[in-house]
Every structure is written in C-alpha cells, then in structure tokens.
Chains A and B, each alone.
Chain A
C-alpha cells in the first residue's frame, strides 16, 4: 500500500503547516512516520533493559536466599511511594496528551508541569534511597560491607539493583529534559489539535519508563517479603 500520495491533502489555507518537514508530503504522513519511529525506539529500549532482566532472572534462580535478604534491605515504603508517584505521572501525562488533542493549551501545560513535578519527586526519593545505601556500605565494590554467609551473592543483588534503577533513573532524567522542552513548546502555543505529535511521542516515552518501574518494583522490593517477615 503506497504511502504519501503525490496529490497530497489539500492544505487548509493553501500553505504548508509550519511543522511540516519538506521531505514529507503531508502532516499525516509525518505523524505516522514519527509515531512509528518512537515505537521502534521503544522496542530498542525493551531489548536494552531486557539484558539486565535476563541477568536478574539467572541470579535470582541461583541465589533465592540472597535475593530475599537483599530485597529486605530496600525501603518498601519509599519504593511503594515512588510507584504511586510514577503511575500518577503517567495519568497526568495521558491527560496532557488529551488536552493537546482537544486544543486546551492551558490544561496541556498544567498537566505537563504536574508530570514533571511527579518525575522530579521520584528522582529526589531515589536520591535519598541511594544516599542511604552509600551510608550503609551497600554499594558494590571495594567498600562493600554486608554480614552473613550470603554476602557475595547479596553484592550481586545490589549490583543489579544499582544497574537497574540507575539505568532507569537515567531514562527518567532524559525524560524530564524532554518534558521541559515539550512544556516550553506548549506554553508558547505551538500545539493544536491538528499537530501535537511531540506531546504524543513524549507521552509514549514517559509511559514506557513507567512500565519499566512497574516491573522493577516487585522484582527488587518485593522478593519474598514474607520470608523475613
């Protein structure tokens, strides 16, 4: 099925939409291409995190006790709070996209700002969690200290904890930067129901980062909580 008709859509005012790039025939083709591009990027992200998930899976099977011990060292309240914060930020993001779809500029900006605030909250909490880990010498490496016979395996658990949450946090920071750009564009009134693609794409990215955390929370914080009471 050929795409990008030579005839093109009749432009509403007989001129190019300012956001239309010259190598596309019309906004619809551009929008479809952009969305497909973002989805393919998310595919790469699934495989990227997938390598860490594979590593996690193997070592959890090999060292279930160490996993339970390590998981108990994580603060379930902070982790749970962060989960709620992030899921809430997905809600505000979805509402931001909806506001852009319906041409409500002020609401778009408001929801986007809220999303950013929630994202920032997540990162701040994470910072305090990491700080505690540093203070307890739970950071793998030459200064790692942990009591008990499972200590070497617990060090692997913490290696994965830092790798997984660290890479996730990096994605959150990038997402936050992305959001600030989008929010600025929204505040300048760049988005209309005819063209709001960047908001939609930022939304897809943000939801993906949320989904990663939806998995990380039980995988890291909820391993056999009953085991250690």
Chain B
C-alpha cells in the first residue's frame, strides 16, 4: 500500500520511474514446449538459451530481489526445467520469506514437482484450448502430451485446498482457438479456477487477424459482461475494455521488472531491452550488487526515466499494473461496483 501511494505521488510529479510491485524472475529460458506464438523462448530456441544459475547463485539473486520487493513471480521458459527448482521455491518461501509467490508453468512437469507446490501462493498454468487435437500443433508437442497437460490441470485444480495455492489458467487468444475460448471459461468455472486472457502479440503488436475480427471483439465484450456478473475472470474490466479496440494505454513497465536467468535486470521492459537501441538494456547483474535499491539506482543512472508508453504489446502483465497504478479512481469504482473484481490487486494480476 505504501509503495502504491508513493508511486501515486511520483506520478503526480511526472516521475515515471515507479517502484516495482512485483519482480519476475525467469529462472531458465529453456522450454519443453514450442508454442507457435511465443516470441521470446520455446524449445526451438533452447540452443541459444541462457544457462540457469546454480542454486546458491539463484538464491543470491532472490536475496537481492527480496531486499526491495516482497512479491515474486517465478517463470521461464519452463521453470520446472531448472535443476533445483523445488529447493529454490521452498527456500524462497521459508528462508527469504517472500510474502507472495507465484509460479508460471506450462503444467507438463507438474506431477514431478508436486512437493514444491506447498511453497507457492498462486499457480498459473498456460492453457489455450481444451481441444487437444487443435492445440497440440500450436504448442508444438504430440497429441498425447497435450492430453496429459489437460489431465495435470484437472488433477492439480483438485489439489488447490490441499496445497494451499490458488490456481489460474492463462490463455493466449489467437484466431485458431477463439471458437473454443468460451468452453475454456466454462471449464475453469467448473474446476474453480481463475482464468485470464491475453491477445496473441506478434512483433509487439496484436496479431492482425484479431484486430480485424468481429468475433474476437464480441468475445471480449462477452467476457466483460460475464465478469460483471461474477465470472472468475482475472484482470480488471478496464483491462478488458482496452482489449476491445486496442486503444493506447500508458505503460509503466518498472512496476514489474524482469530478471533474466543469469541475474541481469532488464530495464525498463523486455521489448526495449531486446531492441538495444539505447532506450533500455541490462544495466546491472543482481549478483554484482548487495541490495535491490543499489540495482535500481544503477539502472536509473544508465537509462534514466522509462520512456512514455509504447502502448503496443497489449500484454496483461504490462497493462494491468500500469492501469491499476495510474487510474486509481477507475479501480475504486470497479471495486465498489463489481464484487468479482475484488479478487485481484496490484500483486495478483495475471502475468503473461
């Protein structure tokens, strides 16, 4: 709350270098799936993937993060491909005492790591379609493996109470799966899962076929109506409304900074870091600093204020915290009017 208030003051002073509300650590960029829409990682890029850090160094990275941020997202690639992921999760929770921990996985290896699930507060699983036949070519694995992901999701949805985590499904909306998206929502309601939707991005821009699709627009409008009636759809109504026409939004990427497997802090966001055109980059490695503040001020010295919005990727992980932070009245209004929106806060938006 303090951080939120201090960011509001910063915004009023036209300071865009906002304090993070969560940190997102890519423990490995290796992946066992080969999703066609993934522009960052995927099995086809494993040869070029950065090697994961050994446990003691990964813990050092988390220690630095913890000195400034108490909410952590562990993601990848596929985080379960990190050789020490179970121990890393347990120690992050019990030794470093992160207040909130979220794990983002594709769900394929869940059964091998069940014990680590007690360490996390939220489990986000990627699931785009219930139709294994049409989904398996999209994620680049055999039909049987796709079926086993479906089975894992069903099984671990049942274990939410037992392990004490909240489970959420994250679906990438593409023209190929649009027709089955409503069935996915029903599946989530049936299994007490939250669900979030992000439109497929191509080259940091929403896929053309979605932009010109009236079915897509109708689906998002339907989602807004469902959410207003209490459907377990993650993300705010304000976010969903942004997705109807893809209107520009003001982005504050430093609210959710990314840390790469080797400990590099990306600044101010992945697209600018990857473009490497002087507006962003990897100014500091967390293994070389003692505290988060030190890393954060080094990043600021290197690149200064994050640029004004590029308002183009339309990914929930960037839009949602930015909207929540910069439009407090919109969210207050939503909070008061629609009880279902009370399930989310700045730390629990769906990361893509």
Q: Do A and B come from one complex?
A: no
